[in-house]
């Protein structure tokens, strides 16, 4: 590991562990206590053995034996208890720290511009915000304390044995160093194989994911055999990698077995030799054998922890890569927008999601305040894109967009938050969350009180619908709003906008047909929404178009026609006139 | 693993599925059985050597073996263990991954047979988790059965040795272990409850991530980024609370150490993986068998 990497990881640790100082201190205390007990316990057994053997020659020592046994059992129970508490505290730290990280990261990503969101599927975001971070949890919860603890345990064992005999102690020290080096070396050669395994698995599953999303195409193109062949190809590759990884594991586990036997050989030989010289008691021989037996455990734990760090490092790198992304939408000024309804001005606006393919070309128009603009055009003519630019979900490649009352303000000069707060939008498909109706209405804003929600519900005539819900505002909506009809979802979205009280409304009208009752309800709601506000409606229905003061018809990103509705409707040469004659739906949907 | 509501439940019980997987590669499975059992039982040798060693140093019993013959025995044990381990790993990797490919092939084949809309009961993302986690769970469970066999053998041999040394001592050693097994079984249902709660809470977190990033535009338009993440934090907090108790509780009753407790969990996981109807499992049935395998662990 390079130095700057270590620094970065340390910074990461400090940032997220600082708020948990007390828990970390407690965990440290607990881990050190377990180490102490692990060192003390075999000493009790030694006393037990030596006393028992002595009892055979010098008479009754039963009370001593019983006390030794009780102490041993008590110590074992305390050890078990402490390790339970330590596990709890460690888990707690891990979850708190990583949840903090998850929230930060999700907020950061959610605030990135739409180009980012178009390139990253929700499925991928699950992997990056949850999957990658799970690997980091161990790093937060355990790494430093476990490594430090086990290193101390190793030193402790060697020091305790030093009190018995320096030769045995140094033999064990040499053994420890050899084992540590072998473990480290084996892990290092195993890691590239481990990464190759991950890659082979990732290839297989991204292949599967791709083809599961397009099963109809596969059948339609008769590609079933091709897909199966590829499944076998990727699986074979994965199997080959796993077998290679398994071969490494054989070496690793084999080495573990060899080291273990080596340790036993060292302990038996040393113990046997010392005992036959009459230098130590049987209890001490046991002590030596016991400590040697247990020494591989901390060694293994230390290398294990380092392997976890490798995993965490991969996770941290991926998290940092996300943090490094900046939104393309930058705040350039802090101008404010006037209260009340707003004028809208487009000046020679050109924009394309990909620079070479403009979706809007040289669009210019002015919409006075409180007037309503009906936008018409075929699918793909740029209607929705036009509305997205107003929110600065994207910035135009050329030209500028202004809002205002008296004087115009370029929207790039306004704080994004302020800008989006002054524009309300209802889209065709309403995004609902699996949460309560209240949370869906307020977008999880707890500051909006029920006293503010209820009048809006009454005004939009939603009272009857709310009363029908089993728990009123507290009713939980099912995933993707599957428990709501399209009309109800739209009304919910209207309520959201009403609560926001914006100066400009953008309404992307639903093209689907609704039942007449809901249709009337929505029509009335639209009327109330647009009262004293400027409105831009992407219209699909004649009734909605008739609300508009002005009409804008787009074709291939260019303005084909723009003017007052009544004037256009009476002009037999206008495109709008022709549309009214043929019927909107056939042409526009 | 995710629990999906409304997904169809297949009719094949888990054990039948496992049996079919074993019959697909019976030889590899058998190699694994032999390899694992050899490896496990050979661990009796160092224990036995230790006993002989302490007998000879303490002079409590007549030393039947010289120091050097004990060392040779130790090395012989090492060789046997290495051989068993080699066979085990050589067999279990192909067994597991070939079984996984078989399952994936059958699943994918079936999906491609069905008409488009009916083929996937869930989103492609959730389906991938079936192809990945659930498929992975099943062959490893089958292989894990060999652990039970190996540990059972180990315990039986150990029990016989101990009994021949001293029946009373064996019974005394047996009693606390039986208590631990009982405690583990009592705790199993509670752990299962926590696990299910954790899985549900985890599912809420991941599906909320999918929801917010699927609705990124709407969230930005409503300037609701902070509020939405506030709700996300609440869900995370719920998951923390339910996930927190599982590992310490396991540690407390030693489920992670004792195969019997594990059997219930493993079987449960495999059953959830197979989406089988028999997802409820009562560990008690296997207790008699497991008591044996707990003995010397």
A398: Cβ–Cβ under 8 A, 6 or more apart, which residues? A348, A349, A350, A351
Question: How many Å apart are CA B177 and CA B173, to the nearest integer?
Answer: 7
At A536, is the secondary structure helix, strand, or coil?
strand
Answer whether A262's CB lies under 8 Å from A175's CB.
yes
| Over residues A280-290, mean pLDDT | 80
Nearest to A250 among B86, B97, B214 (CB): B86
User: How many interchain CB pairs under 8 A, A with B?
Assistant: 242
Q: How far apart are CA A141 and CA A160, in angstroms?
A: 29
* DSSP H or E run through A564: strand A558-564
Total residue length of chain B:
297
- Report the interhelical angle of A450-459 vs A486-500 (nearest 10°): 120
Residue A481, SS3 per DSSP: helix
Q: What contacts B179, CB < 8 A, 6 or more positions away? A: none
The answer, yes or no, to whether residue A425 has pLDDT greater than 50, is: yes
Q: Is A221 on the interface with B (CB under 8 A)?
A: no
Share of chain B above pLDDT 90, in %: 21
DSSP state of A354: B
Are B52 and B1 a contacting pair, CB within 8 Å?
no
**Residue A279, H or E segment:** none
CB contact under 8 A, B236 and A125: no
Q: Please, are residues A456 and A497 in contact by the beta-carbon 8 Å criterion?
A: no
Residues of A in contact with B212 (CB under 8 A): 106, 110, 433
Contact of A270 with chain B, judged by CB distance below 8 Å, is answered with no
Q: Which residue has the higher pLDDT, B63 or A120?
A: A120
Nearest to B206 among A130, A208, A211 (CB): A130
Could you report the per-residue pLDDT of B4-16, keeping only the tens digit for each? 334 445 567 778 8
Residue B282 has a pLDDT of 31
DSSP code, position B7: P
Report which of residues A469 and A587 the model is more confident about.
Answer: A469
Q: Distance between CA atoms of A316 and A302, rounded to whole angstroms?
A: 20
Q: Report yes or no: A33 at the B interface, CB cutoff 8 Å.
A: no
Element (H, E) at A373: strand A372-377
Which range (A86-90, A93-97, A295-299, B103-107) has the least confidence?
A295-299
Residue in chain A closest to B83 (alpha carbons) equals: A254
Residue with the bigger pLDDT between A217 and A449: it is: A449
Residue B107 tokens read as 């699943």
Predicted confidence (pLDDT) at residue A311 exceeds the cutoff of 80: no
Mean pLDDT of A93-116: 91
Residue A239 has pLDDT above 90, yes or no: yes
Q: How many CB atoms lie within 10 A of CB A276?
A: 11
Residue B106, classed as helix, strand or coil, is: helix
Residue for token pair 């994965």: A238
Is the distance from CB of B124 to CB of A209 less than 8 angstroms? yes
Torsion angle defined by CA atoms of residues B153, B156, B162 and B167, in that order, rounded to the nearest 10 degrees: 180
Contact assignment for A250 to B89 by CB distance below 8 Å: yes
Which residues does residue A536 pair with via DSSP β-bridges, in sequence order? A373, A506
- Which stretch, A19-33, A253-267, A472-486, A500-514, has highest mean pLDDT? A19-33
- How confident is residue A320, by pLDDT bands cut at 50, 70 and 90? confident
Lowest mean pLDDT among A51-65, A179-193, A382-396, B247-261: B247-261
pTM given for the model? 0.73
Are the Cβ atoms of A110 and B204 closer than 8 angstroms? no
Q: Give the number of C-alpha atoms closer than 13 A to the C-alpha of residue A194, restricted to the C-beta side.
A: 12
Bridge partners of residue A376, in order along the sequence: A553
The whole-angstrom separation of Cα A103 and Cα A265 is 53
Residue for token digits 């506000």? A533
pLDDT at A161: 84
More confident residue, A438 or A123: A438
Quick: pLDDT tens for A109-130: 999 988 888 888 777 787 788 8
Helix (H, G, I), strand (E, B) or coil at A574: coil
| CA–CA distance, B226 with A108 (Å, rounded to integer) | 10
């Amino acid at each position: 590991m390079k130095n700057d990497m270590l620094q970065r990881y340390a910074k990461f640790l400090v940032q997220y562990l600082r708020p948990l100082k007390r828990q970390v201190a407690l965990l440290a205390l607990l881990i050190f206590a377990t180490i102490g007990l692990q060192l003390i316990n075999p000493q009790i057994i030694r006393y037990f053995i030596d006393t028992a053997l002595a009892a055979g020659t010098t008479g009754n020592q039963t009370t001593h034996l019983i006390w030794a046994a009780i102490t041993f059992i008590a110590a074992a129970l305390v050890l078990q208890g402490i390790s339970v508490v330590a596990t709890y505290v460690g888990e707690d730290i891990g979850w708190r720290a990583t949840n903090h990280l998850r929230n930060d990261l999700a907020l950061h990503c959610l605030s990135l511009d739409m180009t980012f969101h178009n390139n990253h599927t929700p499925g991928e975001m699950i992997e990056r915000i949850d999957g990658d971070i799970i690997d980091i949890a161990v790093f937060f919860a355990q790494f430093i304390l476990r490594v430090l603890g086990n290193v101390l345990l190793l030193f402790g064992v060697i020091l305790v044995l030093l009190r018995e005999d320096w030769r045995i102690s140094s033999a064990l020290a040499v053994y420890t160093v050899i084992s540590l080096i072998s473990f480290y070396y084996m892990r290092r050669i195993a890691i590239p194989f481990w990464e190759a395994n991950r890659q082979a698995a990732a290839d297989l599953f991204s292949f599967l994911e791709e083809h599961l999303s397009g099963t109809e195409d596969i059948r339609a193109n008769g590609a079933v055999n091709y897909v199966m062949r590829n499944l076998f190809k990727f699986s074979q590759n994965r199997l080959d990698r796993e077998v290679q990884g398994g071969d490494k594991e054989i070496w690793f586990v084999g080495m573990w077995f060899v080291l273990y036997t080596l340790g036993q050989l060292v302990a038996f030989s040393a113990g046997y030799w010392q005992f036959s010289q009459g230098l130590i008691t049987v209890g001490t021989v046991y002590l030596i054998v016991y400590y040697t037996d247990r020494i591989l455990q901390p060694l293994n734990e230390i290398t294990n922890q380092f392997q976890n760090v490798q995993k965490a490092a991969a996770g941290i790198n991926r998290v940092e890569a996300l943090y490094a992304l900046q939104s393309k939408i930058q705040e350039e000024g802090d101008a404010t927008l006037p209260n009340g309804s707003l004028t809208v001005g487009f000046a020679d606006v050109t924009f394309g999601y990909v620079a070479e393919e403009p979706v809007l070309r040289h669009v210019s128009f002015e919409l006075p305040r409180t007037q309503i603009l009906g936008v018409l055009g075929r699918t793909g003519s740029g209607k929705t894109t036009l509305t997205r630019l107003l929110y600065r979900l994207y910035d135009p490649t050329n030209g500028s967009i202004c809002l205002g009352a008296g004087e115009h303000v370029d929207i790039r000069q306004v704080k994004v938050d302020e800008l989006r707060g002054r524009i309300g939008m209802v889209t065709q498909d309403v995004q609902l969350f699996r949460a309560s109706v209240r949370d869906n209405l307020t977008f999880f804003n707890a500051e909006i009180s029920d006293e503010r929600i209820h009048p809006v519900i009454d005004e939009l005539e939603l009272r009857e619908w709310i009363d029908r819900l089993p728990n009123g505002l507290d009713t939980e909506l099912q995933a993707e709003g599957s428990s709501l009809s399209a009309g109800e979802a739209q009304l919910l979205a209207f309520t959201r906008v009403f609560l926001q009280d914006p100066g400009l409304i953008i309404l992307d009208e639903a093209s689907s047909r609704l039942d007449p009752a809901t249709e009337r309800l929505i029509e009335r709601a639209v009327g109330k929404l647009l009262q004293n506000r400027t409105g831009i409606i992407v219209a699909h229905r004649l009734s909605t178009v008739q609300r508009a003061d002005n009409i804008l018809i787009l074709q291939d990103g260019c303005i084909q026609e723009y003017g007052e509705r009544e004037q256009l409707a009476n002009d037999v040469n206008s495109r709008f006139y022709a549309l009214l004659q043929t019927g909107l739906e056939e042409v526009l949907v | 693993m995710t629990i999906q509501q409304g997904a169809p439940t297949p009719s094949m019980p888990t054990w039948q599925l496992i049996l079919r997987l074993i019959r697909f590669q019976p030889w590899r499975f058998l190699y694994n059985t032999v390899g694992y059992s050899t490896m496990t039982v050979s661990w009796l040798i160092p224990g036995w050597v230790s006993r002989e060693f302490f007998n000879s140093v303490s002079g409590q019993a007549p030393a039947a073996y010289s120091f050097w013959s004990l060392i040779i025995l130790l090395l012989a044990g090492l060789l046997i263990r290495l051989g068993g381990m080699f066979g085990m790993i050589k067999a279990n990797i192909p067994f597991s991954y070939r079984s996984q490919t078989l399952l994936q092939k059958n699943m994918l084949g079936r999906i491609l047979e069905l008409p488009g809309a009916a083929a996937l009961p869930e989103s492609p993302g959730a389906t991938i988790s079936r192809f990945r986690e659930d498929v992975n769970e099943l062959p490893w469970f089958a292989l894990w059965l060999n652990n039970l066999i190996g540990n059972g053998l180990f315990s039986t041999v150990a029990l016989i040795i101990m009994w021949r040394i001293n029946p009373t001592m064996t019974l005394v050693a047996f009693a606390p272990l039986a208590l631990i097994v009982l405690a583990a079984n009592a705790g199993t249902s509670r752990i299962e409850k926590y696990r299910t709660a954790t899985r549900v809470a985890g599912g809420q977190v991941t599906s909320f991530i999918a929801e917010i990033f699927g609705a990124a535009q709407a969230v930005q338009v409503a300037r609701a980024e902070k509020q939405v993440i506030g709700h996300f934090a609440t869900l995370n907090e719920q998951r923390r609370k339910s996930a927190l108790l599982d590992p310490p509780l396991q540690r407390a009753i030693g489920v992670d150490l004792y195969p019997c407790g594990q059997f219930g969990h493993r079987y449960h996981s495999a059953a959830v993986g197979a989406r089988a109807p028999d997802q409820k499992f009562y560990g008690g049935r296997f207790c008699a068998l497991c008591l044996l395998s707990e003995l010397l662990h």
